[in-house]
Structure 1
Amino acid sequence: MDLKTMAPERTSYDVIIVGGAIMGASAAWFLSDNKDFDGRVLVVERDPSYENCSTAHTNSCMRQQFSTELNVRISQFAADFVKNIRSYMGGDERVPELSIRSFGYMYLADNEGFADVLRASQKVQLAAGAATQLMTAAEIAAAYPFYNVDDIVLGSINLVDEGYWDGGAVFDWWRRQSRERGVEYVQNEVVGINRNAAGDRVESVTLKSGEVITCGQLVNASGPRAAATARMAGIDVPVEPRKRYPWIFKADKPLDRDLPLTIDPSGVHVRENGGGTYQCGGHSDIDPAVDYDDYAMDFSLWENHVWPILATRIPQFEAVKVQSEWAGHYAYNTFDHNAILGPHPELPNFVFLNGFSGHGLQQSPAMGRGVAEWLTYGEYRSLDLSPFAYDRIPANRPIIEKAVI
């Protein structure tokens, strides 16, 4: 179904969500699903093709291998939601039954310092109910003989609810069902955010098409553009677009078993894609913020950096052919690489849903649910997401998450 390419139907909404990709769609759907919320919701999306949004460029994988319990719990809810999506969506028989292709994430440590991080993280994960296993180099070689593990000290993998899932299907059904329930999506762009006379609340937004639309609450779900949206309200948020480069390639000699999403010590990662193809990703050592519309590909990165690393780690990847390649953007939180969630302390009806730093797709069910709860009740009820509050930034109180890819 095509989204509207016109002005909103109304001049006032209870909630306006700026950005209709995975986070905005999740928040809108969870609002529509909450029996205690009876307000009107407008989602404003500048590009309803979603061609260049982070959601369209994702690995579409989830993991529980984080170093903080809260991030583990967030991914566990994602796994439950995906595996039971039809039930969550009211038993709607149109909704497909989904699963997780649990080939796992394989973290490889080539020094004792990082091995100790994996050991400490495993304790957190096991305490939260995850099934993470630590593996010696010999154990890795026995289970996955295609790896070169000559330099590896320790590996970490979880083969339960960790791997590929159909993020596109979840995204599509969140939008479809929320629209059927009355959420309004428009193709437009917020070009101004206007405060009330006292300056302590957002009163309205100005759209590119000229309309001024009043709102009760405003959600910033604009991905890598989060800082530009916040600046319209006179707020700073430390989120910027950083380029990430994926490649899909076909191996002349495909591996004889599933390839876990492998995080090489270099930072290059690669995973099973099916049919003898694989998807890998990386970025250059120089990793600056880029313009919001800069999707230019660095074609030298594959030959000079990524492919040599892959071929060293997995010698069967010495003979491969790239099938597609592109550049996408992380919504990169430069403060601590974790989500920024909830109200601004001085502008309480401006709500952040930002800064996911590459974790957004897998965190979208829990984060959308949490924001919908906050908008409805003024508190988180299912999972306490208050550690992600904005006030940790001026207080210089970062969340230390050691498992950032």
Structure 2
Amino acid sequence: MKTAKNKVESFVERMQGIRELSNKILKSPYRDGIFPEHCDIVIIGGGAMGSSIAYWLKQRAPNAITVTVIEKDPSYAEASTCLSVGGLRQQFSLEENIKMSLFGAEFLRNINQHLSVEGHDPPDVQFTPCGYLFLASEKGAQQLEENAKLQKKLGAKNELLTPVKLKQKFPWINTDGIALGCHGLENEGWFDPWSLLYAFKRKALSLGVEYIDGEAIGFEFKKMPDLLMDGMEPGSYEGVDKVLVRTESGEIRSVKFGIVIIAAGPYSAKVARMARIGTGDGMLSIPLPVEPRKRYVFCINCKNGPGLNTPLTIDPSGTYFRREGLAGNYICGRSPLPEEEPSVDNLDVDHDFFDKNIWPVLASRVPAFEAVKVKNAWGGYYEYNTYDENGIVGPHPYYINMYIATGFSGHGIQHAPAVGRGVMEMILDGGFETIDLTRMSFDRLIMDRPLIEENIV
């Protein structure tokens, strides 16, 4: 079992490998040895979401467009991926999320067709198909049942379980306070998020995507007098056409673009403010409601704990756990209450949070967890959408050349394949062709139409 430190170090080594791969493909840090001062599309954020978008764009139009990705943390040591437990589920209450997860499962199942690179080992995300098990109290049972019906209608396979059936199927569980459970039977489980990010980035590089190791620190604005917009004086519109980048060496360079995509995870709002989003007038007065929230993941050992058939289990309290490997190890966590939100100044772990908020729930729900030992723990950042905890996908209503893909509040890694494809469709086809994500647009912030997901983990 890898420790939290080893987990990060292992990924840093893999990212160093991909940088070496990049240099091998490009023969230098940049393609043709030249800093990419202009491109058709620039993506700010090179994590799973940004790299997925880059892959889909170049896969669709390999020779027609140039794509550059700006990533400030090329080791991904503080990326949201670091926190992710790699869950994949269709147990959502919103149609869009269910459909994106169904496609995510299909994408992972056929990942070799999508992300293999000639001359390299095929991608392996180590998918473990043990399903999700949502547990509901009497208060939440009706909602869980309604969710299950919608999921089945859209093609997911699940099973509703009474307390008696829960005990028969999972004898290790204490069903006190549980009125109903829902177990995903297909296409649910967990995978290695590091490996998916690595595969996306490696494939994107092989298709010709340029990666800049640096931080976006501002935009340059351009008057566009011929563009008319409601509520604005003729000739007053200003657009964005350049992004300023501080490179790893500290040099300030600019990249001129035709289209910009903000996919910077928890730092997306910071990037948006550079474009006056949230500080301007009219449509620019509405901020991008995404901020970093620190979450903890704990790895525990329990010699007599649940066995191989253990699904990723979510208690009504929000506490979750899943098996990790075959040696009696489990990963667990829980989102804090609003008044418990920890500082995001660092990634230090509060071990008291486990003792006070997680362990009592685990021990109550699974009596075997009375005897556990915390082996490791780590912290990471969620890209938390403070408006409705759902992703924001699509064009910005003011900037005619800006798109957004952020705010997924914990399920971005599993939706990255579908969102990447959707953003590609918006740009190259002029609209969503496969999964309609229109309701997830920035416009819902202006019209105050939140998309509420009843099962957020």
Structure 1 segment 189-204 matched on structure 2, within 5 A: 189-198=215-224, 199-204=237-242
Q: Secondary structure at the match of 2:387?
A: coil
- Which amino acid letter does the alignment assign opposite residue 259 of structure 1? T
Cα deviation 1:311-367 (Å, max 9, x = unaligned): 111010111111110111111111111110111111121110110000101000000
- Matching of residues 126-205 of structure 1 within 5 Å: 126-198=152-224, 199-205=237-243
Among 56, 70, 74, the residue aligned to 2:82: 56
1:71-106 per-residue CA deviation (whole Å, 9 max, x = no partner) reads 111001000000101122478573235563221111
- Note if contact 2:55-2:203 (Cα within 8 Å) is conserved in structure 1: yes
The answer to whether 1:17 aligns with 2:43 is yes
Q: What is the rounded CA distance, in whole Å, between the counterparts of 1:314 and 1:25 in structure 2?
A: 39
Deviation digits for residues 262-288 of structure 1 (CA, Å, limit 9, x no counterpart): 111111111111221100011332457
2:300, 2:123 → 1: CA distance?
28
Q: Which residue of 2 aligns with 1:102?
A: 129
One-letter amino acid of the counterpart of residue 257, structure 1: L
Is 1:300 matched with 2:352? Answer: yes
CA contact (8 A) 1:192 1:207 kept: yes
Structure 1 range deviating more: 325-334 or 358-367:
325-334
| 1:400 counterpart = 2:452 | yes
Q: Given the alignment of the two structures, is residue 365 of structure 1 paired with residue 403 of structure 2, yes or no?
A: no
2:107 aligns with: 81
The separation in 2 between residues aligned to 1:247 and 1:270, in whole angstroms, is 9
Please give the alpha-carbon distance, in whole angstroms, between the structure 1 residues aligned to 2:445 and 2:159.
34
Q: In the alignment, what sits opposite 1:280?
A: 332
Counterpart Cα distance in 1 of 2:341 and 2:306: 36
Q: Residue 326 of structure 1 aligns to which amino acid in structure 2?
A: W
1:77 aligned counterpart, secondary structure: helix
Q: Is the 8 A contact 2:125 2:193 kept in 1?
A: no
From 98, 103, 115, the counterpart of 1:72: 98
Label 1:287 to 1:218 Cα distance change in 2 as closer, same or farther (>3 A).
Answer: farther
CA 1:291–1:32 in 2, change beyond 3 Å: closer, same or farther?
Answer: farther
Q: Which residue of 2 aligns with 1:353?
A: 405
Q: How many angstroms apart in 2 are the aligned matches of 1:41 and 1:91?
A: 18
> Which letter does structure 2 place at the counterpart of 1:251?
C
Task: Indicate if the aligned counterparts of 1:103 and 1:261 stay in contact, CA closer than 8 A.
Answer: yes
CA distance in 2, matches of 1:325, 1:193: 38
Normalised to the residue count of structure 2, the TM-score between the two structures is 0.84
Question: Compared with structure 1, are the counterparts of its residues 187 and 289 closer, same or farther at alpha carbon in structure 2 (3 Å cutoff)?
Answer: farther
Which structure has the greater CA radius of gyration?
Answer: 2
User: Aligned with 1:327: secondary structure?
Assistant: strand
Residue identity opposite 1:353 in structure 2:
A
Asked whether the equivalents of residues 299 and 375 of structure 2 are also in contact (C-alpha less than 8 Å), the reply is: yes
Q: How many residues align?
A: 404
| SS of alignment partner, residue 447 of structure 2 | coil
Instruction: Identify if the C-alpha distance between structure 1 residues 75 and 40 changes in structure 2 by more than 3 Å, giving closer, same or farther.
Output: same
The one-letter amino acid paired with 2:174 is N
**1:242–1:288 Cα contact (<8 Å) kept:** no
Partner of 2:245: 207
Do residues 31 (structure 1) and 57 (structure 2) align?
A: yes
Amino acid across the alignment from 2:146 = A
1:239-278 CA deviation, whole Å, 9 max, x = no partner? 1111211101111313233221111111111111122110
Shift in alpha-carbon separation, 1:288–1:8, aligned structure 2, 3 A: farther
265, 268, 278: which one pairs with 1:226? 268
Output the amino acid matched with 2:104. A
Q: 1 or 2, which has the higher helix percentage?
A: 2
Structure 2 unaligned runs (5+)?
A: 1-17, 24-28, 225-236, 278-286
> Runs of 4 or more off by more than 4 Å in structure 1?
3-8, 90-93, 287-293
Question: Match of 1:378?
Answer: 430
Percent of aligned pairs sharing the same letter: 36
SS in 1 for 2:108: helix
**5+ long unaligned stretches in structure 1:** none
Find the residue that maps to 2:142 and give its secondary structure.
Answer: helix
Secondary structure of 1:326's aligned partner: strand
Does the CA contact (< 8 Å) of 1:100 and 1:162 recur in 2?
no
Q: 1:344 aligns with which of 368, 392, 396?
A: 396
Q: How far apart, in 2, do the equivalents of 1:256 and 1:85 lie? A: 28
Superposed displacement of residue 9, structure 1: 1.9
Q: Distance in 1 between matches of 2:238 and 2:436?
A: 26
RMSD over aligned CA atoms reads 2.0
1:349-404 Cα offsets, whole Å, 9 max, x none, are 11101100001010000001111222222222222211111001010011121111
Q: Is the 8 Å Cα contact of residues 48 and 416 (structure 2) preserved in structure 1?
A: yes
CA distance in 1, matches of 2:132, 2:422: 26
Distance 1:213 1:91 in 2: 28
Which residue pairs with 1:335 in the alignment?
Answer: 387
Question: Which residue is equivalent to 1:322?
Answer: 374
Distance in structure 1 (CA, Å) of the matches to 2:148 and 2:109: 24
